[in-house]
Amino acid sequence: MTTASYLFPPSPLATLPIAGGSQLIPVHRIYCIGRNYEAHAVEMGHDPNKEPPFFFQKNADSLLVNADFPFPKQSQDVHHEVEMVVVIGKGGESISVENALDHVIGYAVGLDMTCRDLQAEAKKLGRPWEPGKSFENAAPCSAVVLASDIGHPSQGEINLSINGEVRQKGDLNQLIWKVPELVSVLSNFYRLLPGDLIFSGTPSGVGPVRVGDRLEARIASVGSLSLAVVAP
């Protein structure tokens, strides 16, 4: 019996470092939730009332770790969205809200970088959001902190500043859909696997970045992320 071999080597696995350790999280998928803070829903022109959550995906290999953000050349209007990233450590389907946090192994600080012009065009034409949300380097992310070390944060400041000036500021307690609910709802649509990431939504204050900007994102008890926007 012969064993099948790859025609060419597999692409590298996307990974995230664990803060203060030498191990890596092997990343499977990246899910993102839209409009999960009231004030951000309002600033984007939507009803702030609790509507069922909706999700989109970024590619795992669009993670950007310990590197500056190259401004995507296909866009003229790239926005920052600071978000808490939930890291799945135990897979499952149809997970109950009560058991959801058993499936979460850690948290990180992420940026859901968005080509707002391409997203707006897609919305207008009724097309998928991919060009605006899922592009190379679209998901800068910090090291992961483990829930065994910090617990499961449900409150605490989340903010982003550009060149020292605060642009986004909110609190994790303002999440419309809380982390256990996000995990539960998502698991009704997808088979969650260890290494899945969930970007949990952004507070208000999203806006454009420019080449030369220094972005500092911070979430109390989770960590921080600092990067420059550089020419493509």
Which positions lie near Mn ion, rule CB under 5 A?
81, 112, 202
Instruction: Please tell me the distance from the alpha carbon of residue 166 to that of residue 121, in angstroms, as a whole number.
Output: 28
Q: What's the closest the beta carbon of residue 36 comes to Mn ion, in angstroms?
A: 8
Q: In terms of CB distance, is 146 or 209 closer to Mn ion?
A: 209
Q: What's the closest the beta carbon of residue 65 comes to Mn ion, in angstroms?
A: 18
Q: What's the closest the beta carbon of residue 201 comes to Mn ion, in angstroms?
A: 6
Q: Nearest to residue 87, comparing CAs of 150, 36, 40, 37?
A: 150
Q: b/e string for 181-191 if b means 16 or more Cβ within 10 A? A: ebbbbbbeeee
What is the radius of gyration, based on Cα positions, of the chain? Answer: 17
Q: Where do the DSSP E strands lie in 89-138?
A: 104-111, 114-115
Q: In terms of CB distance, is 71 or 199 closer to Mn ion?
A: 199
Q: What's the closest the beta carbon of residue 135 comes to Mn ion, in angstroms?
A: 14
- 175: which residues sit within 8 A by CB, 6+ positions away? 36, 37, 200, 201
Q: In terms of CB distance, is 102 or 171 closer to Mn ion?
A: 171
Q: In terms of CB distance, is 38 or 81 closer to Mn ion?
A: 81
